Amino acid sequence: MFGLNNVWDVIIVGSGIAGLYTALNVDENSRTLVITKSDIKESNSYNAQGGIAAAIGEDDGPDIHFRDTIVAGDGLCNPEAVKILVYNAPSIVEELIRLGVEFDRDKSGKLELGREGAHSKRRVLHSRGDSTGKAIMEVLIRHILEREIPVRDQTMVLELIIDDHICKGVLVWDKKREMIYPLYSKAVILATGGMGQVYPFTTNPSVACGDGLVVAYNAGAELCDMEFVQFHPTVLRHPSAPSLLITESIRGEGGILRNIYGERFVPKYHEMGELAPRDVVSRIITEEMERTNSDYVYLDITHLSKEFILSHFPMIYNECLKYGIDITKDYIPVAPGAHYMMGGIRTNLKGETCIKGLYACGECAGTGIHGANRMASNSLLEGLVFGKIIAQEVSSYVLNNGDISILDIEAIEKKVCKEGSLKEFRVKMQNLMWRYCGIRREEKGLKILLEELEKMQQDVKNMPVNNFQDVETKNMLLLSRLIAESALERKESRGAHFRIDYPYRDDIYWQKHIIKKKG
């Protein structure tokens, strides 16, 4: 078809850490294709400043890492999934070093371990200070190229091909070739990342629209824990700057949050101060901004030495300097922003969904690891640990299944227009989600939100899509509705989900997962 191979053993959708590491671990005899909506470097993983948590310190152990993760998850973690995560973490670090990742070390050559929110020990490894994601991704990309694993970029998945409850490939829109066509395979692995673009303020890149969640839902897969969206407490808030994440490591190294009057305020609200769980710090900052009638607070690291700041946070230093902020001398204006999805496509411990042949890995997967609130630096680790497990499972699945089914799906020409037709709907949706389904929620606002989202979905239902952004907007309208429905249904406050009208955790009725399935 068009000089392209459209039949594969394994198709991996997404080029972040979960997608690429999975691809590298699939049996080399399998025909594996990686699809990415933008280019191979455009992902949350590539932009990740935070590190990888692994209990390798002398005073640490997987059992302590397990306990910290369970506590942070606020009663909703899957203990078995967490055990797999923490006990595999040290070997994953060894594997990354073997592949060529250079983690930061002290002057004696010993691996340097940082501490972040909700961790009781120093166990977070970084590379190049605040550019860990980029450092790891560059190594993985190099190995992908060396192995000659094909990557088809500028290609968006529109639907999963399902036949008799079995996933048999994907229907894609190829921007380069201006065609919509099917790609067939024995197995499909969704590693499409997060959905931060549902909100107007987010640390996520423009591609993080939750597309994988939507195509899985439309195909009949289950989504879980959609109400649990983590808002990172410290995102650069500057009129001319993008929503730049200011890594939690800064607070782990002694960064202080101050209000617009320069007063430290977090310890008044929580005994752990700046290292309280992210959901707590985000709510504290929101309350303090309202109390002081400000759009931001300050993060202060001016008491740290310039040498330390430049060696540990070089990327943040250079980015902030572009906007006239010298973080060695100036306070950093910050406010919360949407950051991470705890829920996702429901999977078992092998990454399998309820659809045969369909797997999910990384942020788009609902493994139960993060519960109601992800602990810092467990996310890159999750993509690696479960990417390896899924690769092994898929390799066996491919080996034990026969020929690939080719269905009668015609390819069609589909030009991509520069301008979409749904931009106004996207902006309205984002603002409504921030107002009614953001850091704090209540029944009245959620009902208003759902009514507005339903109207917009009806308005865009039959409108044509002219580019990828239009498809994303339709996807995000559906995703927003599922998040809002789950938030309305959960009548308690737990982890990242905070209800003003139900401010307390209720284990009697709500220590359970909310599942969403089409129909």
Catalytic annotation, residues: 278
Q: In what order do the strands lie in the sheet with 365-366?
A: 365-366, 344-346, 223-224, 515-516
Nearest CA to 336 out of 302, 386, 388, 297 is that of 297
Burial of 336 (0-12, 13-18, 19+ CB in 10 A): buried
Nearest CA to 102 out of 139, 146, 130 is that of 139
The answer to whether the beta carbons of residues 152 and 36 sit under 8 Å apart is yes
Cα distance between residue 356 and residue 393, in whole Å: 12
CB atoms near residue 380 (< 10 Å): 28
The answer to whether the beta carbons of residues 279 and 81 sit under 8 Å apart is no
Which residue has 């190099």 as its token pair? 142
Cα distance between residue 312 and residue 105, in whole Å: 11
Structure tokens at 160: 């999963």
In three-state secondary structure terms, 57 is: coil
Whole-angstrom CA distances from 146 to 24, 83, 149, 150 are: 10, 33, 8, 11
Q: What is the 3-state secondary structure (H, E, C) of 266-317?
A: HHHHCCCHHHCCHHHHHHHHHHHHHHCCCCCEEEECCCCCHHHHHHHCHHHH
Burial of 412 (0-12, 13-18, 19+ CB in 10 A): exposed
Amino acid at residue number 515: I
